Amino acid sequence: MTSAAMDRASTRIFAPAGLDRTDVGRALGRLAVGGADLGDLYFETRSSRNWRLEDGRVTAGGFGINQGVGARIARGAEVAFAYSADMRPEALAILSDTVYALGRAGGGHVTAPITLNAASADHGLYPTLDPVADADAARWIALLERVETLARAADPRIVRVDANLSASEHVVLVADLDGHMRADVRPMVQLRLTIVAEANGRRARGFGGLGGRHDLSGLREDAIARAVSEATTMALVNLDARPAPAGTFPIVLGPGYPGVLFHEAVGHGLEGDHHRQGLSAFAGRVGERIAASGVTVIDDGGLPGRIGSLGMDDEGTAPEKTVLVRDGILTGLMQDRLNAGLMNARPTGNGRRQSHAHLPMPRMTNTYLAAGQDDPADILRSVSRGIYATAFGGGQVDITSGRFNFSTTAAWLIEDGRLTAPIEGATLIGVGHEALKHISMVGHDLALDDGVATCGKQGQTLDVGVGQPTIRIDAMMVGGRGG
């Protein structure tokens, strides 16, 4: 009995290319090199649909399909890789021979087909459906027009509403030299918002959105209204923002999306390849204290419906809940198959890739700081003068040193335990492992982002989840133009 995902992969990948399981097994046999530590074929087809609202008008709509197969073999840390948009049996044979020739390191060329075992099971993290199949343009346009109406009705100072509505169905199949063959169908719908407010010759922006692994009906009316309200409120509040002060202050980060700061400043440093190569500020420190007591960091690719979740990673490994930091102690790393083998560890379901034209590497899925015991109101009251931030824009991180800087898009000045004024132009500057040590209070209000976070690494961009509860960092440098 096959899974729904394997059935979909057979329909969407195998049938159009004239492939069957024997062809794939034969290609793997041609791919194999004597002494190869691992090897696989990664097939995908991704269909997408998107609509764009700009300043009151739906200005663009599009549909696209991207498909292909990537082949790789690894011997130690040496990897041979090639890819093709042509998945027909004859093209697959040429691709396998090409990778074999690139990675030849002794041993005979295996020509006997590898027997494949279809091991996929229905995982229950998200449904096997195709959001792109809804081709009724009126439904998509009506949703965008609803966004425009809600934002404009909120306040006469709203002068522009831009939104992007997108959907995709991503069907992947992985077959490896061990004879495993697994498939997954990954649906996703996302709505992204930019809202502009203007008053007294001054303009300010608010940002927001929501998304998940579902179809268009999963964007519920109440969730859309909340996303529009949050983005509109951000724009209106920022109209009155004053320049952020410069100096070193206590920082309070709100729940949810602010977890992106630690995703970047800490999470990348806990990916296995950076440790193996000695590039991480945390390299060689497993078992040591790297954070304050009460700080627990988790990566979990098995959270239902989240955009960072995966029924399997892009090497066919099931996702795990990996505790990276437990009560301040570094306890785990995120691993793909290659780095796990080289580090005498086990894969954790974090082997991810942007497409068939990219190699997999250790990447985050849904990464978050676990909830603590503190009341968020008490955290705020504990600060006599500091910064409270709930949203971030751009940032930069140096993995080796851990140094980072992030610009806030929604922040307030804290005075005597109260939020007194919105501020603009605040840049938080610090070092990841030092920031972890300065966390003194962790709230009980854990929240994840709204489903629009992305992550870049070595030129590859992926959807991820981030999150945290309200936290207090006792001291962090803030760059700003105010006093």
The pLDDT mean for the chain works out to 94
* The pLDDT of residue 299: 98
Give pLDDT, residue 120: 66
- Please list the ranges in the chain whose pLDDT falls under 70: 1, 34-35, 105-111, 120-121, 483
Phi and psi dihedrals of 234, rounded to 5?
Answer: -60, -45
User: How many CA within 13 A on the CB side of residue 72?
Assistant: 24
Token output for 452 = 């629009």
Provide the 10 A C-beta neighbour count for residue 415.
Answer: 13
**DSSP symbols for 141-180:** HHHHHHHHHHHHHH-TTEEEEEEEEEEEEEEEEEEETTSE
**CB-count exposure of residue 336 (10 Å: 0-12, 13-18, 19+):** buried
**Contact (Cβ atoms closer than 8 angstroms) between residue 196 and residue 205:** yes
The whole-number pLDDT of residue 122 equals 79
User: 350 in helix, strand or coil?
Assistant: coil
DSSP 355: S
pLDDT of residue 482: 72
CA distance 25 to 23: 5
Closest CA to 62 of 70, 51, 53, 54: 51
Task: Compute the distance between CA of residue 53 and CA of residue 224 in angstroms, rounded to an integer.
Answer: 15
Q: Do residues 248 and 382 touch, judged by C-beta distance below 8 A?
A: no
Q: How many Cα atoms occupy the beta-carbon half-sphere of 440 within 13 Å? A: 14
- pLDDT number for residue 105: 55
Surface-to-core class of residue 44, CB atoms within 10 Å of its CB (0-12 exposed, 13-18 middle, 19+ buried): buried
Are the CB atoms for 113 and 193 separated by under 8 Å?
no
Residues in Cβ contact with 374 at an 8 Å cutoff, skipping those fewer than 6 apart: 441, 442, 443, 444, 470
Residue pointed to by tokens 């083998």: 341
Q: What pLDDT, in 10s, does the model give residues 389-418?
A: 999 987 788 888 889 999 999 999 999 999
Strand order in the sheet with 366-369: 329-330, 321-326, 297-300, 366-369, 465-468, 447-448
Q: Which two tokens stand for residue 432?
A: 């990841």
Residue 413 tokens read as 């000045």
Residue 79 near residue 73 (C-beta atoms within 8 A): yes
Cα–Cα distance, 309 to 128 (Å, whole number) = 14
Q: Identify the CA nearest to 361 among candidates 350, 377, 370, 371.
A: 350
Kind and range of the H or E element at 91?
helix 89-103
Whether 131 and 216 have beta carbons less than 8 Å apart is answered as yes
The ranges of the chain annotated as CATH 3.30.2290.10 are 4-239
Q: What is the pLDDT of residues 360-396, one digit of tens each?
A: 999 999 999 999 999 999 999 999 999 999 999 877 8
Q: What angle do CA 443, 446, 449 make, to 5 degrees?
A: 135
Is 100 in a helix, a strand, or coil?
helix
Tokens 């268009």: give the residue.
Answer: 216
Say how far apart CA 127 and CA 215 lie, in whole Å: 9
| Strand, coil or helix: 288 | coil
Q: Is 138 left (phi over 0), alpha (psi -120 to 50) or beta?
A: alpha
Distance in angstroms (rounded) separating the CA atoms of residues 333 and 353: 18
Q: Which residue has the tokens 């005979």?
A: 108
Question: Amino acid letter at 344?
Answer: N
**CATH superfamily of domain region 4-239:** PmbA/TldD superfamily (3.30.2290.10)
Check residue 108 and give its pLDDT: 54
Report the distance separating Cα 218 and Cα 250, nearest Å.
Answer: 39
How far is residue 350's CA from residue 272's CA, in Å, rounded to a whole number? 9
